[in-house]
A and B are shown apart, each in its own frame.
Chain A
Amino acid sequence: MKVDWSTFYQHIIEATGETIYMVTLTLIFGSIFGITVGLALFVTRQNNILENRWIFGILNFIINIIRPIPFIVFLVFLMPVTRTVMGTTIGTGAAIFPMAIMATFSVARIVEQNLMSIDPGVIEASKAMGASPLQIIFTVLIPEALGPLVLGLTFVSIGLIDFSAVAGYVGGGGLGQVAITYGYQRFDTSVMIVTVVILIILVQIAQWIGNTIAKKLMRR
């Protein structure tokens, strides 16, 4: 049974809204926690401003454990926790929880890598000027790495659009669910094409926004 586009378009708009909502919220939580964890990872590294073998080792271990898990497996695996925290395992709210956790660790690794590209000499110079570790984090590390950081977050947010589609498979809502329920399970190619096109457009917009901001920050 093919969908009736004269009414179905509303369904598509709603689903697009859900996808944007999921991705945006996940990006916000993922960035806040991810940047924090990434900074912690960087500053506790050997020979760095707050060197701490234990904190670095634990964070590094957790990231290395979680990141390689395929998202769909992680999503299902985390369901008991999701139910406890969010009260449900269905819907966009329930999808955001595992997405945000996965995003946190992706962002953390990207943040750490961006920070490592900062010339250590610049950090040494700020130390020599009498900056405290906190001052170094907020007035040197973050501003110096901001341009590449925005590009990294853009990369993650595009990955999140992908995650949101996967979440749709297990009842997370959004365009992914529409594509699977109507396009795949009911063999309606038109729905498949429309959702794919919208997803492509969303990715393009996200990339464009990220590039524009990063360009402004890096002045290149």
Chain B
Amino acid sequence: MIEFLDVSKTFKIAKREVHAVRNVSLTVNKGDIFGVIGFSGAGKSTLLRLVNLLEAPTSGMVKINDTDLASLSAKDLRQLRRRIGMIFQNFNLFSSRTVAGNVAYPLKLEGVPKAEIERRTAELLEFVGLSDKAKNFPEQLSGGQKQRVGIARALATNPEILICDEATSALDPETTADILKLLKRVNKELGITVLLITHEMNVITTICNRVAVMENGEVIELGDVLDVFTKPEHPTTQRFIESVNKDLPSAELLKEWHAAGDKHIYQVTYTGGATNQPLLSQVTQKYDVHFNIVYGSVREIQGNLLGNLVLSFKGDQDKVSKAIQELQAIVDIKEVILDES
């Protein structure tokens, strides 16, 4: 649906060349919620703007539904932009227009008849849950409500693609969750392909099915969210994952436990089906070993459970080793080594 073929974008700022995007190749498939994550300055914002040619690539090709964007005339490009909705971190609503006026704007550009505009506007405000705010002006709305208006406006022309520029970065966690739910509905109920950029790993794990990690203009890791989340290869990716999933307690705490007699501390990680059976208690009972969960989390990504538990085993050294050996066949388990430094 959206294809980047070896795309680069270079800006000339005060005679210095800035490589915002370098040799990026990736494909967003129809029906995806594709997330691009990166720290600020990674080039993700520029990458997003290449999709509707708000920025033109310096080299390489961007294709939408097999059409090379560079081949479009100014008029065809405007037509194409109407098939691509866009929402923004700062909402970018028209302060001089009401909520309904904002949503109606793209339809007015298309010259849709007035009665049809009214019908469609009401329908969209209903979809985003803001029917009662139609006559309000943006300045009277909260951040979350403004973003809903932004989404309704972006959907007005029945786009196939919605691109989101840090759409939740200006919102509090609760409002972020609401907006992400809404984006998921946009994807599932309306069948719209979503491409979003963010610096929050939480956004990726909550709604995306595929992810690209960007750094210094390059895509450094790309794949299904679950794969990238469970087996991150690049240190930057690992840092992002740690931001939502701190997998071990602090070294101080571990030392304290060790000193207090917790000698067998292990980290268990597992995904998906393995969680359906009472594995831990079965195995530990068999060897007469006790365990205590000292730290951990279980999260859901793309309908899969992803568990990370830190366990302290108590019992005979020999029996603990045997129990660990048996568990190793079913889940990932490794001893937590104390950092002596």
Contacts and interface: CB of A to CB of B under 8 A. Distances in A.
A143 B94 contact: yes
Contacts of B92: 119, 121-122, 124-125
Contacts of A219: 137
A144 interface: yes
Nearest to A129: B106
Contact of B96 (A125, A131, A146): A146
Interface residues of A, number: 21
A131 B97 contact: no
B124 to A, nearest CB: 14
A128 B84 contact: yes
Nearest to A128: B86
A136 to B, nearest CB: 10
Contacts of A135: 109
Contact of A139 (B74, B79, B105): B105
Interface in B94-134: 94-97, 105-106, 108-110
Given A127-B81, A131-B109, A132-B78, A143 B86 contact: no
A129 B93 contact: no
Contacts of B81: 127-130
B21 to A, nearest CB: 18
Contacts, number: 60
Interface string B42-63: 0000000000101000000000
B266 interface: no
Interface string A120-159: 0110111111111001000110011011000000000000
A163 B52 CA distance: 50
A143 B54 contact: no
A131 B78 contact: yes
B194 to A, nearest CB: 15
A119 B89 CA distance: 13
B54 to A, nearest CB: 6
Given A146-B96, A219-B137, A125 B88 contact: yes
A124 to B, nearest CB: 6
Given A128-B52, A128-B81, A144-B94, 5 more contacts: A122-B95, A124-B54, A127-B54, A129-B109, A217-B96
Q: Sorted from nearest, which 10 A-B pairs have the closest CB atoms?
A: A125-B92, A130-B81, A121-B92, A130-B78, A130-B82, A128-B86, A143-B96, A129-B106, A122-B92, A144-B96
30 contacts: A119-B90, A119-B92, A121-B88, A122-B93, A122-B94, A125-B86, A127-B54, A128-B54, A128-B84, A128-B86, A129-B81, A129-B82, A129-B86, A129-B105, A129-B157, A130-B78, A130-B81, A130-B82, A130-B106, A130-B110, A130-B157, A132-B74, A132-B78, A135-B109, A143-B94, A143-B96, A144-B94, A146-B96, A147-B96, A219-B137
